[in-house]
Amino acid sequence: MTAMFWRSPKACLIAGAGAAGIVLPLLPVANLYVLTVLILMLIFIIYASAWNLLTYSGQGSLGHAAFFGLGGYASSLIAIQSGLSPYITIFAGAAFSAFIGLLIGLTCVRLREWFLAMVTFGFAIIIQTVIVSMLSPVTGGWDGYAVPKLIASDIPYHLLWEYYSIFIIAILSLLAIHLILKSHIGLALAAIRENELEARAAGIDPVRFKLLAFTASAYIAGIAGALEIHHFGYITPEIFGVELSFWPVIYSITGGLGTLAGPVVGTIVVSLLWDGLNAAGLTYERYIIIGVLLILIIIYLPRGLVSLAERYGKTEGGGRNPR
Amino acid sequence: MLDVAGLDVYHGNLHVIWDLSLHISGGEIVTILGSNGAGKTTVVETLFGLNTPASGKIAFRGEDITGLPPFTIVPRGMSLVPEKRELFPKMTVRENLELGAFATSKETADYDRIFSLFPVLHEREGQLAGTLSGGEQQMLAIARSLMAAPGMLVLDEPSLGLSPKLVGTVLDTIRDLNRDGLTILLVEQNVRNALEISHRGYVLENGRIVGSGTSDELLEDEHVKAAYLGA
């Protein structure tokens, strides 16, 4: 079994991607700019994967920035108040994000996909408003505040250490999502997505499992948000912006909805393109280019870039992932 | 095994099931006959908690299950084979079977028994359910509900859309399962075939039970003959 696994093309790809992730920042090309790009890429891989976990259960969100941002605010406030290391507060902040996710979930898990998505969209705006206005004594309103860096910038090679610690957290997040989806929970989520009435008849409680997916997704998105602000060392309410809600959607659709590799591939390809076009001087044109790319992918590759591998490689499609 | 007394069900303001009572003893095959729109599927959905009755009582194995959520019914030993053999088409045969045993924990999952009953499913274990033929899908739907090791199986129109030969195969399977001790509630508009394997039947018209009796009695009944057997 193990021997077969290591010979499969899928395993080679995973091992190759992991090796690239380890070696890349050590190459001579990896200056501070490249390292920053790679770090943000990892953060968005975590974030997009969290969003994608939600779609696996047939739910959708257009306001995931709410959880991304809440993770950031909660983690940084805890870090500042308690003096704990960001490495600890990241997970506490994410727990807060998950708790709010659970509350939103409770009010609207009964809504179908895009109705739920609209509620989450509104919710991200509400949170941003609350942070800016009512909570401004703590949050500094639109100005934001400085937060402790993940690794202080006076430590030698701090960006490199930061990269590797975020790399490990990304791997652990993907592993956690993989284990959830492979377990009986993943089976139930897929069944709910495929046919909710039928899932109920088979004895599955959709509300419970949807809430679980919602909460887990909010937790992981919260981790990503906390990592981002502890990387920048600063937080402002712009973290709740519409763009931040839409990036995980774009990444996941480009890579392939409902697959583990989809958000990873999508994030790498789109964010490289995004930064590459900017570097090439196409700062505004890139919106159009990415938009056209998205349209083409939805039309010609509805299951995303990862379906190319299935089409041309020998990786067999599992039963329950693609949608 | 199952006792239903004075059941009334509404869809919004529409009164669809009127004062329905029926009884099924352990080891029986009982058919509810009725044409399209008689309320057959509504009755089935209400048994499984997918509809809430306005009044009446449903008791299974002596316990009141009226209004309980669906996911608590299956573990009590009553499984549903839904209308149009609704499966999870984009999931594999194996995953569909796993889902059948979902509510009852893994101990009931007896794949050996299922595969000896339905060898074709063993051959197609890794295939997507949506790619099976109609007859195979019906077999999978039945197999899936058996994964919960139920004491009673409710089948909603298992013959729908199947060729006459496959209808025979499906009904033979149901009869074999009954001989192994499974209680069966069959809901059918394929009246003759259903009654031939049943012990008793109820006739459902416009949401009301208008007649009942043993299968032989019903097959000889003038009203049943005229309305359902085309004689």
- SS3 assignment, position B157: coil
A269-279 mean pLDDT: 92
Select from A184, A200, A319 the Cβ nearest to the Cβ of B70.
Answer: A200
Name the residue facing B88 among A191, A200, A203 (closest C-beta): A191
* Percent of chain B whose pLDDT exceeds 90: 50
Are A222 and A70 in contact by the 8 Å Cβ rule? The answer is yes
Q: Which residues of A touch B99 (CB under 8 A)?
A: 187-188, 191, 199, 202, 204
Query: Which domains can be identified in chain B, with CATH numbers?
Result: 1-77+150-231 (3.40.50.300), 83-149 (no CATH)
Name the H helices within B147-189. Answer: 164-179
Q: Give yes or no for residue A222 having a pLDDT over 80.
A: yes
**How many whole angstroms separate alpha carbon A67 and alpha carbon A45?**
15
Structure token digits, residue B61: 């194995």
User: How far is residue B146's CA from residue B113's CA, in Å, rounded to a whole number?
Assistant: 10
Flag whether pLDDT at A109 surpasses 80. Answer: no
**Would the pLDDT of A317 be above 80?**
no
Task: Check whether A321 has a pLDDT greater than 80.
Answer: no
Cβ neighbours of residue A95 under 8 Å, at least 6 residues apart?
A219, A222
Which residues of chain B are within 8 Å of residue A191 when distances are taken between CB atoms? 88, 91, 99, 102
- Whether A314 has a pLDDT exceeding 70, the answer reads no
Q: In chain A, what residues touch B104 (CB-CB under 8 Å)?
A: 203
pLDDT band at A323 (very low <50, low <70, confident <90, very high): very low
At B103 the pLDDT is 81
Q: What is the mean pLDDT of chain B?
A: 89
Instruction: Indicate if ipTM > 0.85.
Output: no
8 Å CB contact of A203 and B89: no
pLDDT of residue A5: 57
Domain A9-316, classified CATH 2.60.40, yes or no: no
Contact between B39 and B224 (Cβ < 8 Å): no
**Residue A322: predicted pLDDT:** 43
Nearest of B147, B142, B88, B138 to residue B112 by alpha carbon = B147
How does residue A231 score in pLDDT terms, banded at 50, 70 and 90? very high
Which band of pLDDT confidence, cut at 50, 70 and 90, is reported for residue B38? confident
Long-range contacts formed by A115-119: CB under 8 A, 24+ apart? A116/A59, A116/A60, A116/A61, A117/A60, A117/A61, A117/A62, A117/A63, A118/A62, A119/A63
Predicted structure pTM score: 0.84
B50 touches A at CB < 8 Å: yes
Mean pLDDT, rounded, for B7-19: 90
Residue of A nearest to B93 (CA): A319
Once rounded to an integer, what is the mean pLDDT over residues A229-245? 94
- Average pLDDT, integer, range B186-208: 91
Query: Which of A161, A227, A170 has the alpha carbon at shortest distance from A17?
Result: A170
Contacts of B152 (CB under 8 A, 6+ apart): B1, B2, B24, B60, B77, B78, B79, B182, B183, B184, B185
Report pLDDT for A311: 74
Mean pLDDT of A69-93: 95
Contacts of A323 in chain B (CB under 8 A): 90
Question: Would you kindly state where each structural domain of chain A is located, as residue ranges?
Answer: 9-316
> Mean per-residue pLDDT for A38-52?
96
For tokens 């257009």, what's the residue?
A62
Would you call B77 an interface residue with chain A, using a CB distance cutoff of 8 Å? no
Q: Which of residues 83-112 of B touch A (CB under 8 A)?
A: 86-92, 94-95, 98-100, 102-104
pLDDT of res. A42: 96
* For residue A212, pLDDT beyond 50: yes
DSSP-derived secondary structure letter, A318: P
Mean pLDDT of chain A: 89
pLDDT recorded at residue A117 = 84
Q: Are A241 and A280 in contact (CB under 8 A)?
A: no
